[in-house]
Amino acid sequence: LYDMAGNLFQWTSSWFLPYPGNKVPHPNFGKTLRVLRGGSFYDCSNYRCGISFQTFNRISLLPQTLAISAGFRCAKPARSNHNLKKENK
């Protein structure tokens, strides 16, 4: 997967919950905050640029939050090779 980092933090449909096996409590875990992944070049002023836009970053915000460095990516399922072979016959 390429070109996923740098333009913005991307909203996900996931609630901010602990990873499986995590036994450490966190006051923000629950079904109040949504997860954002990645980061943005815009946040270089707040964080070191090498840290602020790595694809594995995970932050949480209220779903109604507006931020200049947060957005979403539109995607659709890729066609399988099986379907492509059928179309080319």
What pLDDT score was predicted for residue 10?
87
What's the pLDDT score for residue 85? Answer: 60
Q: Is the pLDDT of residue 67 over 80?
A: yes
Amino acid 19: pLDDT: 92
Contacts 24+ apart (CB under 8 A), 11-20: 11/36, 11/70, 11/71, 11/72, 12/36, 12/37, 16/60
Residue 56 lies in a domain: yes
Give per-residue pLDDT as tens, 18-62.
Answer: 999 999 988 989 999 999 988 777 666 655 555 556 777 888 899
- Domain that residue 20 falls in: 7-87
Burial zone of 8 (CB within 10 Å; 0-12 exposed, 13-18 middle, 19+ buried): buried
Residue 27 lies in a domain: yes
Contact (Cβ atoms closer than 8 angstroms) between residue 4 and residue 38:
yes
- For residue 64, the model assigns a pLDDT of 94
* Model confidence pTM above 0.85: no
Q: Does residue 2 lie within any of the structural domains? A: no
Tokens 């179309």 map to which residue?
87
